[in-house]
């Protein structure tokens, strides 16, 4: 049973995707109708080429998403993951999400595989850029907004996220790979398992002997890798799993 495996595990990895933030009102990418890539063209918004072609379109869209995150609150799934960190000797959260809801729920060790909406940098020289606390109030989808200029070199500031065609941050990927190889249990929550290399982490953990537990309301590409598949919403199933495992 997944609760017994969780209770027995000393080293745990929680791999999260957009589904973990869905109950906070943050859109996922691929859910029918509501997913961002169902409503917006990824090739116009999430590639280096798109930014070079139309920086204001891309910057405005990411500022709209950042504003949504700033207005959102962590949900019971984020809070259960933070609580789990206090129950097991070593827990690493590896997230594909670019929001900061895990941190705001109290998770201390969060590896951001796909970067962060809150850490933009210069497109040219990679210097970090300090964002103003309040982004402009944006309509649905954002409006075109010229990106700020880098104080060091004058280049355009870009969102601090990983775009299609870009490599993952090397340190984050190394840390995630190590944690997945070393863990006794990997819990994959709210991810379609379609984007690699993040999607390869459950299989890596399994090859190294870990128990893989999956939480998702619908079947995913990762189901075949998991010993236990829990079908439902993260905000309901994660607190219930903790309750059964630890009382």
Residue 41, Cβ density class (10 Å: 0-12 exposed, 13-18 middle, ≥19 buried): exposed
* Annotation marks residue 112 as catalytic: no
Q: Residue from 9, 13, 17, 225 that binds ligand OAD (CB under 6 A)?
A: 17
Q: Which of 30, 13, 10 is nearest to 22 (CA)?
A: 30
**Closest distance to ligand OAD from the beta carbon of 80 (Å):** 12
- Taking the C-alpha atoms of residue 171 and residue 33, their distance in angstroms, rounded to an integer, is 35
Residue 153 engages ligand OAD in binding (rule: CB under 6 A): no
Residue 162 engages ligand OAD in binding (rule: CB under 6 A): yes
Size of the site for ligand OAD (CB under 6 A): 27
Q: Which of 2, 11, 40, 50 is nearest to 147 (CA)?
A: 50
Task: Lay out the site mask for ligand OAD across 71-110 (x = CB under 6 A, - = otherwise).
Answer: -------------------------x--------------
**Closest distance to ligand OAD from the beta carbon of 153 (Å):** 25
Q: Is omega for the bond preceding 115 within 30 degrees of 0, making it cis?
A: no
Residue 24 engages ligand OAD in binding (rule: CB under 6 A): no
**Centroid of chain to Cα 122:** 22
100 and 118 Cβ atoms separated by less than 8 Å: yes
Residues found near ligand OAD in the complex (CB under 6 A):
17-19, 22-23, 28-31, 35, 96, 114, 161-162, 190-192, 194-195, 215-218, 220, 233-235
């Amino acid at each position: 049973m997944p609760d017994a495996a969780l209770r027995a595990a000393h080293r745990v990895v929680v791999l999260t995707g957009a589904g973990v933030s869905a109950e906070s009102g943050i859109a996922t990418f691929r859910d029918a109708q509501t997913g961002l890539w169902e409503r917006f063209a990824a090739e116009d918004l999430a590639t280096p080429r798109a930014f070079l072609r139309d920086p204001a379109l891309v910057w405005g869209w990411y500022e709209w998403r950042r504003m949504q995150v700033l207005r959102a609150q962590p949900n019971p799934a984020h809070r259960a993951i933070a609580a789990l960190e206090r129950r097991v000797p070593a827990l690493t959260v590896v997230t594909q999400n670019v929001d900061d809801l895990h941190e705001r729920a109290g998770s201390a060790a969060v590896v951001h595989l796909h970067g962060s909406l809150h850490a933009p940098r210069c497109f040219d020289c990679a210097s970090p850029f300090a964002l103003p606390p309040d982004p402009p109030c944006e309509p649905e989808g954002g409006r075109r907004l010229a990106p700020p200029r880098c104080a060091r070199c004058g280049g355009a500031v870009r969102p601090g996220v990983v775009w299609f065609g870009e490599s993952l941050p090397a340190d984050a990927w190394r840390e995630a790979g190590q944690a997945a190889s070393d863990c006794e249990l990997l819990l994959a929550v709210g991810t379609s398992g379609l984007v690699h290399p993040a999607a390869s982490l459950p299989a890596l953990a399994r090859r190294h002997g870990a128990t893989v537990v999956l939480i998702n309301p619908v079947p995913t590409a990762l189901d075949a890798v998991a010993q236990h598949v829990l079908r439902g919403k993260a905000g309901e199933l994660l607190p219930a799993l903790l309750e059964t495992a630890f009382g």
